[in-house]
Amino acid sequence: MDKTDMRKFFSIVREELARKKWTQKRLAKETDYSESTISQYLNKEYGPEHFLEATATALNSRRLRLILTGTTSDGVYMDKIPICFPLNVDRLETECQELLKKIREVKRLNQFQNAFNLNSYKQSEQKLLKEMLQEMDDIKHCIDIVNIAAEDIGLNPDEVSTANLKKYLKRGYISTQIAKDTYPAKVSVLSINAL
């Protein structure tokens, strides 16, 4: 993780601590690090990988998890689903249709365009929002399986990822290009020229 990402990580840690009303002492207890070590890392905006992971886990922060792993999704090993490209693509299509249905239902809510707080929604509408998020999570897991099946038939998901990074940069979605590192569940920042 470069200095910019490290600063962003620690900025989010401070926001999460404030949001949860946690002290550094509470974070120390939850991460099994001393209070002085927590203070040192927060002040220097630097910490070893184990500390970063422990902090993201303790704070249960999807934003921190995204910086560390490139995803907000919990990894789920779906051992009951056979890895078969056509079958997995069909399942992904079904999940996408279910998600689109939920998105359309959410967008029909009267206050959808003007609500910026969960409390703006009625209980039944909050339930609908949660169902939409569940469908989104289903899609993430299906995509993981399709990527494995695609690799099994000879497609190279890394080539697709590289093409997507270029597309995201061109569309202005990212300011730097992020690519999978050689180690699992890590991201690294590459220069544009590296791609």
pLDDT of residue 85: 93
How far apart, in Å, are the Cα atoms of 94 and each of 129, 186, 194?
Answer: 19, 30, 37
The kind and range of the H/E element at 17 are helix 3-20
Q: Lowest mean pLDDT: which of 32-36, 70-74, 141-145, 178-182?
A: 178-182
Q: Say yes or no to pLDDT of 50 above 60.
A: yes
pLDDT of residue 131: 94
* pLDDT band, very low/low/confident/very high, at 187 (cuts 50, 70, 90): very low
Q: Say yes or no to pLDDT of 3 above 70.
A: yes
Q: Lowest mean pLDDT: which of 44-48, 86-90, 104-108, 112-116?
A: 112-116
Among candidates 71, 56, 94, which has minimal Cα distance to 144?
Answer: 71
User: Would you say 150 and 85 are in contact if contact means Cβ atoms under 8 Å apart?
Assistant: yes
How confident is the model over 77-95, as a mean pLDDT? 90
Each as own residue / partner, the long-range contacts of residues 177-180 (CB below 8 Å, 24 or more positions apart, any chain) are 178/70, 180/70
Instruction: Give me the chain's average pLDDT, please.
Output: 84
Q: Say yes or no to pLDDT of 182 above 60.
A: no
pLDDT of residue 168: 85
User: Would you say 91 and 139 are in contact if contact means Cβ atoms under 8 Å apart?
Assistant: no
Query: In whole angstroms, what is the distance from residue 113 CA to residue 125 CA?
Result: 14
Q: What is the dihedral of CA 177, 180, 183, 186, to 10 degrees?
A: 70
pLDDT of residue 35: 95
Beta bridge partner(s), residue 189: 178
Beta bridge partner(s), residue 178: 189
pLDDT of residue 176: 64
**pTM for the whole structure:** 0.67
Q: Say yes or no to pLDDT of 191 above 50.
A: no
Q: Lowest mean pLDDT: which of 59-68, 108-117, 161-170?
A: 108-117
DSSP assignment, residue 186? -
pLDDT of residue 67: 84
Q: Say yes or no to pLDDT of 160 above 50.
A: yes
